[in-house]
Amino acid sequence: MKKWYAVIGDPISHSLSPFMHDHWFEKHGIDASYIPVHVEPKQLEQAFRSMKLLGISGFNITLPHKQAAIPLLDELDDTARIMNAVNTVAAENGRLKGFNTDGDGFVRSLLSYPVDKERALLVIGAGGAARGISFALSRAGFSNITITNRTFRRAQELADETGSKAVVLAEAEANLSEFATIVQTTSVGLTEEALPLSLTHLGSGSVVADIIYNPLETPFLKEAKAKGCLVLNGVGMFVNQGAIAFEKWTGIRPDTEEMIQLITEKLGGNHVNR
C-alpha cells in the first residue's frame, strides 16, 4: 500500500520539503508521496486526528506549530523533550512519536567545514532555533560556546540550560575576532538588508554560518565573505534535518550532497557557497 507523508505549517506553500522528500522516495524506489498541508493554529488538533485517521506514516512540522504540537503526540524522544519543540513525527501502530532534527541537521552541515570543536563558538540569538542548535552543538562535543542576544536575559537562560556562557550584544561585537565559528540563528536578514550585530571586528578565516537559506546569501554572510571568512548558508541545515527525518521514517540515509546542490540551484544559486 502506498504510504503518504506531509509537512504542516502556516504558511506552507513556500516549503521545499515536498520537492526534497519526493526526490528521495523516487530515487530509492519507495512507493510514497509527500504533500504540503496548510494548517492554521486553530485547526491543529483536528489536523492531527485527521492524519491519524487517514493512516499517515510520518510528517514534518514547521512554524508556528513546533511547540503547540507537543501535547497532541503520544511520545517524545529525549531531544524533542529537552528542546521543547518538534519538527518530525513518525507514526507507528496508530501512535505518534515526535522528534527534533533541526539542531543535529545544523551540526551535520557545520561539520562539513573545517571547524575546531575546542575553539570559541558564538551563537547569535536565543529563540527556538538557537536552543536546538546550542543543545546539538554541546552534544556533538563543542566545548566553548557563547550565546548573545538582544535581550540578554534570554541569552543567559539558554546559556544556563546548555552549560554555555552568555554575553551582551555589545561585548560580542567588540570581541568578535576571538570566535573561530559564528552561528547566526535569528530572522534578521530574511526580508531586509540588516545585520544582527556589527561585523566590524570580525576576523578573517572564521567560519560564519547563517541558518537562513532563502536568500542564499544574507547581508550577514555577504559581509563575512568580504572579510575573508568561510560562509555557510542554511541549505545544508535544511537538507540534513530532512535527511534525518527521512532516515527515521525509512531506515535509509539519503544523499545530502546531491540534494544541497539541487536545492541551491532551485533557489537560483551555485554550490559551493564558501
Once rounded to an integer, what is the mean pLDDT over residues 228-255?
Answer: 98
Please give the pLDDT value at position 272: 46
Mean pLDDT for all residues in the chain:
95
Q: Which residues contact 28 (CB under 8 A, 6 or more apart)?
A: 250, 252, 254
Once rounded to an integer, what is the mean pLDDT over residues 108-124?
Answer: 97
Please give the pLDDT value at position 83: 87
More confident residue, 26 or 271: 26
**Confidence band for 254, pLDDT divided at 50, 70 and 90:** very high
**Contact yes or no for 247/220 (Cβ under 8 A):** no
User: What is the spatial distance between Cα 18 and Cα 242, in angstroms, rounded to a whole number?
Assistant: 10
Residue closest to 123 by CA, chosen among 141, 147, 144: 147
Please give the pLDDT value at position 174: 97
Question: Taking the model in full, what pTM does it have?
Answer: 0.94
What size, in residues, is the chain?
274
The residues annotated with a catalytic role in the active site are 66
Model confidence over 130-156: pLDDT tens digits?
999 999 999 999 999 999 999 999 999
Please give the pLDDT value at position 273: 42
**Confidence band for 271, pLDDT divided at 50, 70 and 90:** low
Once rounded to an integer, what is the mean pLDDT over residues 192-215?
Answer: 95
Residue closest to 186 by CA, chosen among 205, 158, 228: 158
Model confidence over 158-201: pLDDT tens digits?
999 999 999 999 999 999 999 999 999 999 988 888 999 999 99
Q: Enter the C-alpha cell of residue 234.
A: 542554511
DSSP helix/strand/coil, 106: helix
Q: How many CB atoms lie within 10 A of CB 141?
A: 9
| C-alpha distances out from residue 170 to 60, 122, 152, 197, Å | 37, 13, 11, 8
Task: Report phi then psi at 148, rounded to 5.
Answer: -130, 155
Q: Enter the C-alpha cell of residue 1.
A: 500500500
Hunting for cell 560562509 — which residue is that?
A: 231
